[in-house]
Amino acid sequence: MKILIGICCGLLFHLAVSAQPLIPVPARIIPADKGCYPFGSTEKILLSDTTLQNEARELQRILAQRTGCRAEISLAAGQTRRNIFLQTDTTLKHPEGYRLVITPRSIRITGKDAAGIFYGIQTLNQLLLERDGKTASVPCLQIEDAPRYGYRALMLDPARHFIPAKEVKRFIDLMASYKFNTLQLHLTDDQGWRMEIKKYPQLTEIGAFRDKHSGPQGPHNGFYTQEELKDLIRYAVERHVEIIPELDIPGHTAALLLACPELGCAHRDSIPVQLGKTTDRTLCAAQEKVYEVYADILQEVCALFPARRIHLGGDEAVIDKNWGHCPDCRKLMQAKGFKEVREIMGYFFGRIHKLVRQNQKELMLWCELDNIRMPASEFLFPYPKDCTLFTWRMGLTPKTIELTRQAGIQLIASPGEHCYLDYPQYKGDLPEFNNWGMPVLTLQQSYDWDPGYGLPTEEQKHIIGIAGLLWAEAMQDLNRVTYMAFPRAMALAEAGWSLPENRNWENFKNNLIPHLADLTRRGVSFRVPFEVFNAETRKK
Ligand code: TNX
């Protein structure tokens, strides 16, 4: 009997979930028998306290857009009549969690915190997706919801092709709709240095202008002033998105090495340092000047970004060719008693990590586990306990999860096979943008992913979230970025927010349709995932 009730409840949940096009799918939907809340031409939004003004304005904007109604905002004080209520309730269990209750007379969004209320509003927005027009209504129901992970990120790469701040804002709007709460900005790479550093203006004077002929508006040129970044951070905060800056070191540093050549290891037969071209040169780990310059840079970056964490890259550095051949680095190895060049990495990031801590930040790095292909006796895991790592290389994630757990390190999951949104979405899609033969990453592949890999709770509790990455070597503007991001980012939004037992590919596919129509209405470029709806292509 119990089993039967269980099956019936599960079925009801799936029916209720599939009836509403919600992405990411919420933790629990309790449908009501009948009825709806009809929006009038005017509405009242009542707040439990004045700190919710920002969320109330978001709701006001959404109601105007979806229902055409004008909503007034005021404090709730004793009001019980037909109204829309926003209220915080700290007794709710999960940060960012919310409860949405719709009856014929009221809509009540209760949040653990302002973020929870904001997400309740985003859910209400999605209930209105198919209901544009003056007689809009939403069905009576109750939703209890909270995210699976506290860290749900997308990464933009304005280093490769610059993305003006105004466009980044458009992207933040999209992220917020799908309950992403973190935007990682990859600000420096071989192709460009994109953040104003007051102490070293040459970094942007030289490093931000890859194509001298196309002027500041060209896709290869440009940087964010510190004032622009402050404005961007404020904009993101209003949408409950935190911006994490990334400065990639010790590799991926051509833009900096052009501006400050003395900071690199000099070695023979290296690829010349040229802005826009990947080089094999790295920062020199043995030069005091490197740490001095980065101390200054980090001070400015950490003072500007309020995020608790900063990302400093650490990926794909060609260390044997640089540190292994550099007389200064060899001397350093001798002095420290290092037998292998890769031991310098621990020294380098040990010093950098100290600078990060002096600025009261926590360090994030791409986990480089080429190491793990080595015999256990030679294995080196050079990461300090209080950093956060990203797993990214194809096929290495299960191993990385295990190793970081053993080392007591927090992990963010962004494996190539699910999260690399720069990979083509379908065989032959935009071949001109796939000139280095990246593998195909279909929508279903992004969707069919449990970031916890089905592991027992104990073995996955150090995974704090997920990140979808939009490496932009081949993306010249935001329209291309959103084309690559959507709809796969919606699949990742669900991986980051929803419970695995509530997720279902067929439901997701059905839910997708009004969202794609909505992107069209919003003027957002995306790829039509025709193959998932086309019986012919599915047979192949
Ligand atoms: C690897 S992922 C990189 C990026 C490239 C990307 C292209 C990572 C940490 N490094 O520099 O843009 O591949 O897919």
Instruction: Kindly report, residue by residue over 114-172, the tens digit of the pLDDT.
Output: 999 999 999 999 999 976 555 689 999 999 999 999 999 999 999 999 999 999 999 99
Can you read off the two tokens belonging to residue 89? 């309730």
The alpha carbon of 471 and the centre of ligand 1 are apart by a number of angstroms equal to 6
Output 321 or 2, whichever has higher pLDDT: 321
pLDDT band at 188 (very low <50, low <70, confident <90, very high): very high
The residue whose CB lies within 8 Å of the most ligand 1 atoms, and thus the one to mutate among 154, 315, 391, 400, is 315
Mean pLDDT confidence for 489-499:
98
Mean pLDDT confidence for 510-537:
93
pLDDT on residue 409: 93
pLDDT on residue 4: 45
pLDDT on residue 109: 98
The alpha carbon of 422 and the centre of ligand 1 are apart by a number of angstroms equal to 9
Q: Is the pLDDT of residue 446 over 90?
A: yes
pLDDT on residue 538: 67
* Residues sharing a CB contact under 8 Å with residue 251, sequence separation 6 or more, in sequence order: 282, 313, 315, 316, 317, 318
pLDDT on residue 539: 64
The alpha carbon of 175 and the centre of ligand 1 are apart by a number of angstroms equal to 21
pLDDT on residue 430: 83
* Residue 125 CA from chain centroid, whole number: 21
Does residue 365 sit in helix, strand or coil?
Answer: strand
CB distance 423 to ligand 1 below 6 Å: no
Output 539 or 217, whichever has higher pLDDT: 217
Can you read off the two tokens belonging to residue 311? 């990302």
Nearest atom of ligand 1 to the alpha carbon of 157: 12
Mean pLDDT confidence for 173-177:
98
**What is d(CA 359, CA 361) in angstroms, rounded to the nearest whole number?**
6
Beta-bridged to residue 195, according to DSSP, are: 224
Q: Name the residue among 179, 162, 223 with its Cα closest to residue 198.
A: 223
CB distance 390 to ligand 1 below 6 Å: no
Nearest atom of ligand 1 to the alpha carbon of 366: 9
Going by alpha carbons, the residue nearest to atom 8 of ligand 1 is 315
The alpha carbon of 32 and the centre of ligand 1 are apart by a number of angstroms equal to 48
Output 25 or 82, whichever has higher pLDDT: 25
Question: Which H or E element spans position 533?
Answer: helix 530-533
The alpha carbon of 430 and the centre of ligand 1 are apart by a number of angstroms equal to 19
Mean pLDDT confidence for 48-67:
95
Cβ-contact 285, 348 below 8 angstroms = yes
The residue whose CB lies within 8 Å of the most ligand 1 atoms, and thus the one to mutate among 389, 470, 471, is 471
**What is d(CA 151, CA 305) in angstroms, rounded to the nearest whole number?**
17
Global pTM value: 0.94
Mean pLDDT lowest among 2-11, 214-223, 465-474: 2-11
Domains (range + CATH), the chain: 18-145 (3.30.379.10), 151-539 (3.20.20.80)
CB distance 315 to ligand 1 below 6 Å: yes
Mean pLDDT lowest among 28-37, 107-116, 141-150, 374-383: 374-383
DSSP 8-state code for residue 295 = H
Backbone angles phi, psi at 313, to 5 degrees: 75, -115
CB distance 278 to ligand 1 below 6 Å: no
pLDDT band at 437 (very low <50, low <70, confident <90, very high): confident
pLDDT band at 383 (very low <50, low <70, confident <90, very high): confident
pLDDT on residue 362: 97
Give one word for 437, left, alpha or beta, with left for phi > 0 and alpha for psi -120 to 50: left
